[in-house]
Amino acid sequence: MVKKICFAIAIALCSISASAQNADAILGKWLSATGEGQIQIYKKESKFFGRLSWIKAPNNDSGKPKLDDHNPDKNLQLRPILGIELLKNFTFDGDNVYEDGTIYDPKSGKTYSCKMTLKGDVLKIRGYIGISLLGRSENWTRVK
């Protein structure tokens, strides 16, 4: 009886470990669909976030860093775009799906609800307002 209980506990622990490894498969650098930027996805506690780690043209015409000038918060409009946290608060929902997060679009200054689905080296990003049917999708590719 004790052996059966120990075996069941060992199986449960292996299952939890495998699930955590699957969740972490999203970690790393991803190239945006346009190829203009790379997003570093990382984990804080049990949630996933993404920071803009590289942009093709980091400076404006005057040679100064591009700023977050479309942000509706006037206090944030003077911050450089490079380094902005674009993805926030995603949770792993199983089946390579990450939900309940948001994505910030520095080109428009808008934040959208977002769902991400990982398929190998492709990350499908779906930003939307309200329900997922009302939104836009793009595919990011893993940077190797």
Q: Is 101 helix (H, G, I), strand (E, B) or coil?
A: strand
pLDDT at 30 over 60: yes
Name the pLDDT band for 1 (thresholds 50, 70, 90).
Answer: low
More confident call, 31 vs 11: 31
Alpha carbon 46 to its chain's center: 13
Percent of the chain with pLDDT over 70: 85
pLDDT at 22 over 70: yes
Domains and CATH numbers, the chain: 2-142 (2.40.128.520)
In DSSP notation, 81-95 reads: STT-EEEEEEEE-ST
Tell me the pTM.
0.83
- The answer to which of 2-11, 25-34, 48-57, 72-81 has the lowest mean pLDDT is 2-11
pLDDT of residue 131: 80
Mean pLDDT of the chain: 88
Q: Is 49 helix (H, G, I), strand (E, B) or coil?
A: strand
Instruction: Encode pLDDT of 59-71 as tens digits.
Output: 999 999 999 999 9
Q: Mean of the pLDDT values across residues 9-18?
A: 39
